Each structure stands twice: as structure tokens, then as C-alpha cells.
Chain A
Amino acid sequence: MEQIDSTIRGRTAIVGFAELPTQRTYPGRSTLSLFAEVARDAILDAGMRLAEIDGLITGDSTNSLLVAQTLGLTPRYTASMTLHGANGASAVATAAAAIAAGLATNVLCIFGESRPASSSRLNAEAVARDGGGPRTLASEWEAPYGPVIAANGGYGLMKQRHMFQYGTTQEQFAKCVVDERFNAVENANALWVGDLITIDDVLASRMTNDPLHLLEGVMPCSGANAAIVTSAERARTLPHPPVFILGVGGPVVTNDTMRTSHDITVSPTAIAAPLALAMAGYAPPDIEFVQFYDCYSIYVMMCIEDAGLCPKGEVGGFYQDTDTTYLGTFPINTDGGQIGGGQPTGAGGFRHVVEAARQIMRRGGSRQVPKADLCLVNGNGGIASVVTTLVLGSAATL
């Protein structure tokens, strides 16, 4: 690999965060109302004042201009991410670069959405009734062939190919879901709090599209989360232990899963994670726990391989043999991730960042992992189209 410039390694840190519970809806509340609450909480958590926030990064559901003016912020640096599920990790990467370059000092990264009470199925039907939504590559080259709801098609295709190439079994995919749900049970902010399931429950859930089971996906939800990134110097003066940004890889864009000839069992993580690790000066065996984007079990699993945490094609056996709960030897998505916690639209990819910070600050409560100094965070957008990987660590890892 080419030499990695580590100029921004350890120069910035996450110093505070806030998260609203993930639930189906927030009746009577707008997205910007959720943003106001979670911004206030995150700024207080960081031990800062509103007037100190001079950078703002947000995502697809609400652009940064609208958010800034609604929250009464006057940032000198702002950006709107348009990478969907990769927004959260990408925002932290962008904040770290902007602060290290002197463009901002205290950056609020904020995501979320208050969704209407609807389901993916009803949304799909509304689009169909409407004549099929916007004209895109998909409306020309996929819609006439009868695609399935949401992203189930693309991830079903990835899972099918993974099972063919590597012999990964349904039970192994189900284990990923069961472990994440176990973690969600200890998370008061999770949709499925208190509701354990077994491998048999996953296997008994209906196929949305073979070989994908309903319980391997995520429940579309409402919610919001936010975090404050600042310089390492300032971080040391604030109330919480700093969560240093040690390495950044991405946002990396690779081949189009639905349209380009390539191995669809490989995600952009295969490029992003080595970049992040090289900048941080760590190798996969050093990583103590991970928070990986998990829109479907197949995706978190193939990214575990692509990040070098197990050999390519062996993630099925890895899950079978490894307790990946917060009690286990290699904890994955300790808050339940999106599979166990729900997918708050707009904020789904940031929950992984928030939980990594929570654990590294030793604020995990009943689900605190004992080894919480070095974490790999992965964010994914589109149909395995774009990934940003972060290496986050405590002061001990600098």
C-alpha cells in the first residue's frame, strides 16, 4: 500500500454525544424538533456552550443550511453529506479534516428524522400507484423486472452469492441477528429492548426474498443522534475522556452492486478499512470491538471479512464460533446495531459512531465492554456502494 499521510491522526476527538430513543414514530414532532433536542443535549454533554459551535455537518434528510438557521447556529464551516448510511462516519471524517486544517474548532455532527407512521411496503405501494417515482437507472433497468421492497433485492443477491462462494449457512447468518438482539436488550434506546430471539426465530421468520429472512433486515424508525468533534487540545479540558479519531478511510466508492461485473461479496470496506488502519498505525488483531453498519446480516458479516477481522469467506464460521455480544470475546454492535436497535432514518449510520464513543468513554452501563480502548467503525451507503471506516481510540491508544 502507498504511504498513508497521518497528519490528522489523533489531532481531533469526539467529546460528547446524545441520542434520542429509536422508535417507530415521534408523533407530533418534526425532524427539526428532534434536532433541537439532540443538539442541545450533545452540546451540554460535551461541556460546551451553543455559541462555541462553529462547524455543522448533517445529512440527507435535512440540509445543513436549514439546520443551522433553525437551530440559531452561525457556523463558519458547514457540509451536507449525501451518502445515506455512510453519512455518520463520513461526517466525523470530514469534521476531523476540517478541524485539523483550521476551518472550524467545534463541529456539531447531527442526524435523524421523524418519519410518518408507514411501512416500507405501503411506501412502495404509494410509489407504484403514483406511476413509479423518479426516473432513474432503476426505473429503467430494474423496475420492469419486479424488484423487491427497499434494499432487500441487492442484499439478497449478495447473500445468495456469499452462500454459493463460501458455503455460509442460514444458521450462521441468523447468529449475527441473535447476537445483535442480545445487545439491544440492554439498550433502553433500542427498538427491540427486552425482546430476546433465537436462531430458530430468525429461521422461522418469512423470506422477504430467498435467501433473505425478514429478521435479517432492519425496522425503519424515527430518531436522532449527534456528537461534537473538537481539537485534541480542547478535548483534554472537557468533562469526558476524549475519543480520539486515529484513522480515517473514505468515503470510498466502488463498483455498482446492481450493474458492474465484480465480486459482490466484497464491499468498499476492503479499501476503506486498510486506509483507516494504516493512518492509525494499527492492524486488525489490535481492534478490541467494532461498530459496523448493519442494514442486513450479510452486510455486517462481509464487512467483518473485508476489514481483515477474519479471512475472506470465513465469516460464517467466525460468527458460529465467536460470542459477538457485549459479554463476548469480540463484541460487535454493542448497542444492538440497526438490526437489534432499529434503523432511525437519517441517523442509522451514526448510531455506530455514538455507541463507539459511549463505550470508549466507559459510559456503556450494563453493556459496557471490558476492553474498550480501540474500535473500528464502519458506515455504508447505497447498495454496498460507499463506505467510510474510522479508527477511534482512548488516550491509551494515541
Chain B
Amino acid sequence: MPEFKKPGPRPANEALTRPFWEAAQQHRFVVPQCVACDDFFWPPRAACPSCLREAWKWAEVSGRARLYSFTIVRQPANPAFLEGVPYVYALVDLEEGIRMVSNVVDCLLDDLQNEMSLVAMFEEMGDGWTLVKFRPARRQAR
């Protein structure tokens, strides 16, 4: 058994975020949306940060996003990730107005650009976990 292993998501509150990970397994991308004020928010938490109401639902999002900022990892904290270096650790802005940490994959490092269009994709990491990652959006025919 290798000494280091890529960690799966380890939730602080498993009951709270289980629907997200179950949806990801089915290749559906859901995020919290407040029932009262309609705001999307991230990360999941007990109450909507816009109005502090606890009534929120999981809403499916388009997966369309822009690359806000990125850093190229050469020295990962967990050596299990060394096999993939260099890779892209990024802040991604969803069109629904929330931001999350993810990886940008299927993109040459030289082609990375702030504000480039991305789309969400799903990557199985074994152990039953599926991660939401992002890749460059295909140019749309006009």
C-alpha cells in the first residue's frame, strides 16, 4: 500500500453535504440556493449568508463558469498528488454567482487565461467519490 493516498472529501458535517456528493456521483452539479431570497451560496452551511434563513434547497447549476485565478502546483501538500504535477489549482466563478476551488483539467498550462470560459465535468476518484472539476468550454458555433 502506498504511503500517501489522495484524500477524498472529508466533510465536517456529513449530513449537511451528502446530497452534493450523491448528486456528483450521478453527474449532477448542485449547490445551495435560498428558498427565501433565491441567492445561490457556497460553501453549503446551515443558513443562507444573505438572509440567515435556514430554508434552502439544492439547485442544479449549468456548470458554465469563468476562470477567476489560478496557481500551478509544483509542490503539493500531500505527496500523493506529486504524480500529477504540474497541475492547476483554481478559483472558478460559476455563472450563478458563486466561487469555488477546483482543478482546471484538459488544458495546456500556456493556454490558461483569467476569465476564460469553463464547463464543469465529473471525475471519479475511486472509493465512491466523484469530484466536480472544470475544463475549457468548446468554442460555440455562431
Q: Tell me whether A208 and B12 are in contact (CB under 8 A).
A: no
Residues of B contacting A160 with CB < 8 Å?
Answer: 69-71, 114
Residues of B contacting A150 with CB < 8 Å?
Answer: 77
Our pick among A137, A146, A210 for the contact of B76 (Cβ within 8 Å) is: A146
Q: How many angstroms between the C-alpha atoms of A211 and B77 in the bound complex?
A: 17
Q: Tell me whether A261 and B114 are in contact (CB under 8 A).
A: no
Task: Give the A-binding residues of B (Cβ under 8 A).
Answer: 3-4, 6-12, 17, 42-43, 68-81, 84, 86-87, 89-91, 93, 97-103, 114, 125, 129, 131, 133
Known A161-B69, A210-B74: A142·B101 in contact at CB below 8 Å? yes
Q: Tell me whether B74 and A206 are in contact (CB under 8 A).
A: yes
User: Which residue on A lies nearest to B68, using beta carbons?
Assistant: A161
Tell me the smallest distance from the CB of B106 to a CB of chain A, in Å. 15
Residues of B contacting A212 with CB < 8 Å?
Answer: 71
Q: How many angstroms between the C-alpha atoms of A125 and B76 in the bound complex?
A: 10
> Which one of A124, A137, A145, A209 has the greatest number of beta carbons of chain B within 10 Å?
A145
Residues of A contacting B11 with CB < 8 Å?
Answer: 135, 139-140
Residues of A contacting B129 with CB < 8 Å?
Answer: 144
Known A124-B77, A161-B114, A261-B97: A144·B6 in contact at CB below 8 Å? yes
Q: How many angstroms between the C-alpha atoms of A79 and B121 in the bound complex?
A: 48
Known A143-B7, A258-B91: A128·B80 in contact at CB below 8 Å? yes
Task: Give the B-binding residues of A (Cβ under 8 A).
Answer: 121, 124-125, 127-129, 131-132, 135-137, 139-150, 152-153, 156-158, 160-161, 164, 206-212, 258-261, 264
A-B pairs with beta carbons under 8 Å apart, 10 shown: A128-B80, A135-B12, A136-B12, A146-B76, A147-B89, A148-B73, A148-B74, A210-B71, A210-B86, A259-B42
Nearest 7 Cβ contacts at the A-B interface: A156-B71, A146-B81, A210-B72, A128-B78, A124-B77, A161-B69, A139-B10
Tell me the smallest distance from the CB of B69 to a CB of chain A, in Å. 4
User: Which residue on A lies nearest to B81, using beta carbons?
Assistant: A146
Residues of A contacting B74 with CB < 8 Å?
Answer: 148, 206-210
Our pick among B72, B77, B97, B101 for the contact of A128 (Cβ within 8 Å) is: B77
Known A164-B114, A264-B91: A209·B100 in contact at CB below 8 Å? no
User: Which residue on A lies nearest to B91, using beta carbons?
Assistant: A157
Q: Tell me whether B79 and A145 are in contact (CB under 8 A).
A: no
Our pick among B12, B68, B73, B100 for the contact of A146 (Cβ within 8 Å) is: B73
Known A146-B89, A261-B98: A128·B70 in contact at CB below 8 Å? no
Q: How many angstroms between the C-alpha atoms of A141 and B91 in the bound complex?
A: 12
> Which one of A129, A139, A143 has the greatest number of beta carbons of chain B within 10 Å?
A143
User: Which residue on A lies nearest to B93, using beta carbons?
Assistant: A261
Q: Tell me whether B3 and A129 are in contact (CB under 8 A).
A: yes
User: Which residue on B lies nearest to A132, using beta carbons?
Assistant: B7
Known A128-B77, A210-B71: A144·B12 in contact at CB below 8 Å? no
Q: Tell me whether B43 and A264 are in contact (CB under 8 A).
A: no
| Additional A-B contact list (13), CB under 8 Å, known A145-B101, A146-B89, A153-B89 | A124-B77, A129-B4, A135-B10, A140-B9, A140-B43, A141-B43, A141-B100, A146-B87, A148-B76, A161-B69, A208-B75, A209-B89, A259-B43
Residues of A contacting B100 with CB < 8 Å?
Answer: 141, 259
Residues of B contacting A142 with CB < 8 Å?
Answer: 101
Q: Tell me whether A128 and B99 are in contact (CB under 8 A).
A: no
Q: How many angstroms between the C-alpha atoms of A209 and B89 in the bound complex?
A: 9
Q: How many angstroms between the C-alpha atoms of A261 and B69 in the bound complex?
A: 12
Q: Tell me whether B72 and A207 are in contact (CB under 8 A).
A: yes
Our pick among A127, A140, A210 for the contact of B77 (Cβ within 8 Å) is: A127
Residues of A contacting B91 with CB < 8 Å?
Answer: 157, 258, 264
Q: Tell me whether A137 and B43 are in contact (CB under 8 A).
A: yes
Q: How many angstroms between the C-alpha atoms of A164 and B112 in the bound complex?
A: 12
Q: Tell me whether A158 and B42 are in contact (CB under 8 A).
A: no
Q: Tell me whether B71 and A153 are in contact (CB under 8 A).
A: yes
Q: Tell me whether A145 and B77 are in contact (CB under 8 A).
A: no
Q: How many angstroms between the C-alpha atoms of A85 and B107 in the bound complex?
A: 36
Q: Tell me whether A158 and B78 are in contact (CB under 8 A).
A: no
Residues of A contacting B80 with CB < 8 Å?
Answer: 128
Residues of B contacting A156 with CB < 8 Å?
Answer: 71
Residues of A contacting B7 with CB < 8 Å?
Answer: 128, 131-132, 139, 143-144
